[in-house]
Amino acid sequence: MATDDSSGEMSTPEAAAEAGGADARPGRRRLIVRGILTLAVAGAIVALAVGQVVATDGDDAQAAPVTSTSTTKATTSTTTTTIPPTTTTTIPPLTQYPTTVLPPVPGGAVNSGDRGPEIQAYELRLVQLHFDPGPVDGVFDAKTEYAAEAFDKIMGWPRDGVIDEAFVFALATFQYPTPLMPEAEADRVEIDLDKQVLTLYKGYQVALITTTSTGNGKRFCGGSDGCQYAVTPPGKFKFDWHVNGWRQGDLGRLYNPWYFNGGIAVHGYSSVPVEPASHGCARIPMHISEYFGDLVYEDMTVYVIGTEAERTGSGGGGGGSAPPPATTVPPVPTDTAPPEATPPTTVAPQATTPPTTKAPVTTPPTPPTTAPPTPPAT
């Protein structure tokens, strides 16, 4: 049942609802508008996202969602050692001098004391081959004889120092033999105990060939080491000290000695026999010892090759072992260089068949030792 309110107007549910709806209409409209805006914004976002996906599909069908992934790749450092190629020294062949024509020997043979233009031609050829006969003056003196003896030794002939037709033919056609140590140092000295020859190489080439006289093997006393045998032991050595000028040792005087094995040296001496005659040193002619020091140097290798003299009895010659180096070294003497080689100017034709006046030695030399023993103290 309806009741009257204080105003006297009728109050019904419909009226109340109408009244409340009228009051709520503006808020409802706001909610509707707000919802429409929200839907519009959401639709725009969805459309934008769809557009991006479509665009991506058009550019790269393989494209994947972008992800921020940090991947660290392990790096391995491998060190490779490069081995340098092996360096092999190529040893040049010996320089061989061409065959020449030398004048025939006057009277069939010449020796010490003879003179003549023919001897001068022989001296020139000896100089060219580095046998050093001294001045090229046509005089067959002691220096020329030493050179002739060295040539005899190289050829394996009797060591008489006589120049005959066989000598001249061999001299005109001479070719250096194979070195005793063909694969050794470029600069070295080879002392052949069997042939009694000293050969000096510079840059693998022959710079000097000279006669020498080494230890005779006899027992002697009086040296710095007491009684011992006069031997020149085979082996590999080096020049380690020297004295300029004359040196007075316990066993005699030595000229310009170059020591390579204790008190054993290469030195000049007034007498250089064709056979072993020293206390152990390697004697060389005086005129060669004048400049020998210009060709060698300290630490240069010295090879002593062959068979040392048989140790017998007593005795021995000069020029043997010496005491330790002196504290005062004499001044360097004025050295004289060997004469320069020039082709002979006076020549004459020679027969092509070699003479047979000089026969080679039938006994072959003892081959070089392959493993030199340790040299004894001197």
> Is the same domain home to 153 and 246?
no
Cα distances (Å, whole numbers) of residue 98 to 90, 128, 171: 24, 11, 11
Cβ atoms of 303 and 227 within 8 Å: the answer is no
Residue 152 located in a structural domain: yes
Identify the pLDDT of residue 71.
46
> Is the same domain home to 208 and 310?
yes
Identify the pLDDT of residue 356.
55
Q: Which amino acid is at 4?
A: D
In eight-state DSSP terms, residue 281 is S
> Is the same domain home to 237 and 263?
yes
Cα distances (Å, whole numbers) of residue 308 to 156, 205, 218, 304, 323: 18, 26, 11, 9, 22
> Is the same domain home to 302 and 252?
yes
Q: Above 80 in pLDDT, residue 272?
A: yes
Residue 212 located in a structural domain: yes
Q: Which domain holds residue 158?
A: 106-172
Query: Which structure tokens are listed for 219?
Result: 């027992």
Q: Count Cα neighbours of 161 within 13 Å in the Cβ-side half-sphere.
A: 21
> Is the same domain home to 201 and 231?
yes
Residue 339 located in a structural domain: no
Angle between helices 142-155 and 165-172 (to 10 degrees): 70
Q: How many domains does the chain have?
A: 2
End of a domain among 290, 314, 338? 314
Identify the pLDDT of residue 340.
52
- Report the range of poorest mean pLDDT among 1-10, 27-36, 43-52: 1-10
Residues 6+ apart with CB under 8 A from 247: 253, 254, 255, 257, 267, 322, 326, 330
Identify the pLDDT of residue 332.
37
Specify the CATH number for the domain of residue 309.
2.40.440.10
CA atoms of 11 and 244, how far apart (whole Å): 155
Identify the pLDDT of residue 96.
98
Q: Above 60 in pLDDT, residue 337?
A: no
Residue count of the chain, please give it.
378
- pLDDT 10s digits, 103-119: 999 999 999 999 999 99
> Is the same domain home to 142 and 211?
no
> Is the same domain home to 113 and 198?
no
> Is the same domain home to 309 and 238?
yes
Average pLDDT, the chain: 77
pLDDT band at 334 (very low <50, low <70, confident <90, very high): very low
Could you count the other beta carbons within 10 Å of the beta carbon of residue 290?
A: 18
> Is the same domain home to 220 and 151?
no
- pLDDT 10s digits, 18-36: 444 444 445 555 655 565 5
Rounded mean pLDDT of 43-69?
Answer: 44
CA atoms of 214 and 309, how far apart (whole Å): 9
> Is the same domain home to 229 and 287?
yes
Rounded mean pLDDT of 200-224?
Answer: 94
Identify the pLDDT of residue 270.
96
Residue 64 located in a structural domain: no
71 vs 228, more confident = 228
Enumerate the β-bridge partners of residue 248: 253
Identify the pLDDT of residue 222.
80
Could you count the other beta carbons within 10 Å of the beta carbon of residue 164?
A: 17
Q: Above 90 in pLDDT, residue 255?
A: yes
Rounded mean pLDDT of 345-359?
Answer: 51
Query: Which structure tokens are listed for 92?
Result: 């040049």
Cβ atoms of 231 and 217 within 8 Å: the answer is yes
> Is the same domain home to 133 and 232?
no
Could you count the other beta carbons within 10 Å of the beta carbon of residue 92?
A: 10
Q: Above 50 in pLDDT, residue 69?
A: no
56 vs 277, more confident = 277
281 vs 374, more confident = 281
Identify the pLDDT of residue 89.
79
> Is the same domain home to 210 and 165?
no
Going by their DSSP bridges, the two strands 235-238 and 282-284 should be labelled as unpaired
